[in-house]
Structure 1
């Protein structure tokens, strides 16, 4: 970098980490060709620090979600997207370099944010739809996001930067998070996962009695924080399209993979008088609590008002297997559950649910 270049944002991050790790020289991986000039990696760099407590691990910190150089955005209070990602990964005793897959994972998070404009916040979660480390036997197929326990929010000349840590989660743990919330679930796991260090080879915490009890208690007290479920296998068939056929109910179709999860989240949302929106490719289905069950539809949205009776009629039938059943209290609404095919990156079916 030349003397003329303003690196105030980068320097502020360096200074914050120096307060934590002193003069330790990190393993730093920069980008040869900037993303704006056609390079493949959106982040300017990733640093990895070798940490020994509470267990040997790598502590990764990204450079690139925030404004590293001069101020360019209009929001003076926030630097760039307002955050940088961190990631803690167990480190073997003789490991001198961090694994390349972790660097690729962080760059993939950069591509997701830069291409979609969707930002990460503490409390978020993300289904990776496969192992977070490709071609590994890990059970970790999702990510949770929480404030980094050692790096507080930072004020820089370009605005504030929050350090958000990614945490590897299993499929069952993700379902518990969705049925409750990220912060509560991670707090319940903290004694087994200090500093939220990700261990690819660990077993699921979803089988630990104390975690199960904390989750069940949290769902009962707090309900679910999941207000939206994005479901690829979601469709709606209106009875208005069958004018020549009398007494034909509307039909809601969804994939078997989401059936059990939907029942769990829907029950806890409705219990707290909160809505749940199912977002599909062509239709949005909104469930809301009410005294009298009803069904209202527009071209892009269907609103289903459910009371306890209608809720029971729905939840009792939601299982991860192909089936169809009617909901008498909702104008005989027909719900059809169809098989879900899980495919690898090449498009090959590796598992069928339902």
Structure 2
């Protein structure tokens, strides 16, 4: 087991990374809780991961409650948020209760937001079961979606621990592996050129994701995020760099309809487009030769870009939380490991998106 310590301005917590940790949750908690609410989704529950976690918690002194949401981005809704709050109130949870989020990014986001707001904030622990959640489970950003945009309703609420059992990643579908791996690529792009080249050399398909590669790449991804979060917990500065690829990515997710495009697929497309703008801004292509071909080989879809209306995408991009005084600001990279937040003129954005729609034809056709 590897332990990575996360230090924010007024809070410190461990990230435990290892195998079989879902059976050791009670041992890894820093204190005892009289009431514990386990929140998960129906996909995770079918693999018995919830059962495994609950079994590790069972004692005569602890009341354990379980709430299962439907899997998928659509569950990050005001309605589902209200339902969980009602369940917690009806079961008489108090300010000293604990919420355990067992699942991927959707579960972690909504469970974390429930924890941030129930009784004005209670403890929660992230128990990630996806590659994607190596990013979302660390750093304390919790949120739900609004029909008009992704993650527009949320807060900053740090977990008291992250317990990451790598064994759960082997049950992921191909789509889930692809979605999560995009965030690993993102961390490499903004902070670790050597990691990016290693991934491009060693991962030619998702059958290549061995335990050694997962340990190394996820551990490095978490460490990269930890370093940034320590500098900027509330996203006033460098933390925005973690949103490389997300400005267009979130817009694509919203316009395609939640569930039609995975988060990672949106981010992958967004990174390629951000690199295109980086080339325009800084005069050189920051991505390694063959990067886009590698993404295509791994199965990332580009066709969705051609199907969506550019002015509508831009309106979605205007809702991005990085924007300032009505100006769209995007994370670009001068070169791998050197990100910056750059204002983008709306007219330029329209021209570049329309050109991008034409360029992705090659990857749609597989030419």
- TM-score by length of structure 2 reads 0.28
Structure with higher Rg: it is: 1
Identify the structure with the greater helix proportion.
2
- TM-score by length of structure 1 reads 0.29
